[in-house]
Amino acid sequence: MRKKNLILVTLVLLVLMFSFGCTESITSNPENTLKKYVIYYNGIQGDDIYDLFSNDLKKEYSKDQIHNIVYATDYSISDYEIIEKTVTDKVTTLNVDITWDMEGIHITNNYNIEFVFEDDEWKINSNVIRYHP
């Protein structure tokens, strides 16, 4: 009887964890959001990039603006390296070296990219839409 109660309590706890989002660290983190951004940027997927943006960043850009920026760019992201991760109460900042490529010319710039947790996902809250010389 005691073993059945333990199994029942364990199952209830697992259901509650999944129901209330206690698994976010398994499915979503800032590093994965950055990885998606790079894939979408290089794949010229403006709509998908827009979906990675926080609500605040979406107020600065429309989907059409992002679509136009991504399609008009001559740059791709050839590499990136996360240098440092800073975590505060509700914000995570990744210090990232991004290497941009334009027809064989490689330029590396450093960015502090802010991420916020919204709608059960980590969203980009900084402007890193394209290369800025």
Kindly state the tokens that stand for 94.
């990744």
Enclosing domain of residue 72: 28-124
Long-range CB pairs of 49-58, under 8 A, 24+ apart, other chains included? 49/129, 52/123, 52/124, 53/123, 53/124, 53/125, 54/116, 54/118, 54/123, 54/124, 54/125, 55/118, 55/123, 56/116, 56/125, 57/123, 57/124, 57/125, 57/126, 57/127
The band of 24, judged by pLDDT with boundaries at 50, 70 and 90, is very low
The band of 66, judged by pLDDT with boundaries at 50, 70 and 90, is confident
- Asked whether residue 5 is assigned to any structural domain, the reply reads no
- Asked whether residue 81 is assigned to any structural domain, the reply reads yes
The band of 116, judged by pLDDT with boundaries at 50, 70 and 90, is very high
- Asked whether residue 16 is assigned to any structural domain, the reply reads no
> 124 pLDDT exceeds 90?
yes
As for how many domains the chain has, the answer is: 1
Please give the pLDDT value at position 12. 43
For residue 76, give the CATH number of its domain.
3.10.450.100
